[in-house]
Structure 1
Amino acid sequence: MPELDAEDAKLVTLARSARGRTGAPEGAAVRDTDGRTYVAASVGLRSLRLSALQAAVAAAVSSGVEGLEAAAIVSDADAVEQEGLAAVRELTPSAPVHLAGPDGVLRLTV
């Protein structure tokens, strides 16, 4: 498995932090085209359910972001969830989305 570049490795670190801080099943971080990052954990309210990636993209979009450079998710899952991936692709079809395990080890990039 290829190593992440330093900037994408930071996204994994931020996603791990969000997950650990909240005790959520997943954490995510996205970097916009200006280099700013947005971090979120999954949301599991009765009235609102968002994956961590959906929540991070929502935070970015609500701040006026028009494009993403990359995204990272930290989760026990074996695949990137499709709704969050679709949100990233809607903004920037070519942005890499990295999935890492809770230990921060990269599992795959889509």
Structure 2
Amino acid sequence: MVDAAGQSGGGAVPSGPELDPEDAKIVTLARSARARTGAAEGAAVRDTDGRTYAASTVALPSLRLTAVQAAVAAAVASGAEGLEAAAVVTDAGELDAESRAAIRDLGAGATVLVADAAGVVRAVLA
């Protein structure tokens, strides 16, 4: 596992609510995506077939995507037809409207985990 400072370490993902292993996995993937790039946010989504996709914020002069939008785009580009769950690691207090819309486009009933840089889940949105 990689922490917010980019350091490797073992152990379970810290969390507020008890997470099942598949949800803990997407929180870990989101943390890793954020740490790997040093981006503002990291996100991971799980499609209805159980496949996972992770991404970080994209902030280029010609292209801006939230981490969630980038992860959803990766899922769609790989043929995903629906989402079961999403996780976003962010320092922001709330999940932005653009990210919520991207999740709804592919997974209206998807569970959304919002975690801090340490992987502590602060909110579970349905």
Alignment of 1:66-105 (within 5 A): 66-105=81-120
Structure number with larger C-alpha Rg: 2
Look up the match of 2:78. 63
Which residue identity lines up with residue 20 of structure 2 in the other structure?
Answer: D
Whole-angstrom distance in 2 between the partners of 1:36 and 1:101: 23
User: Where do 4+ consecutive residues of structure 1 move more than 4 Å?
Assistant: none
Question: What percentage of residue pairs aligned between the two structures are identical?
Answer: 65
Look up the match of 2:57. 42
Whole-angstrom distance in 2 between the partners of 1:92 and 1:43: 22
1:2: Cα distance to partner?
Answer: 2.4
Gaps spanning 5+ residues in structure 1: where? none
Q: Give the structure-1-normalised TM-score.
A: 0.97
What RMSD in Å do the two structures reach over aligned CA positions? Answer: 0.8
Higher helix residue share: 1
Q: Give the structure-2-normalised TM-score.
A: 0.85
1:90: Cα distance to partner?
Answer: 1.4
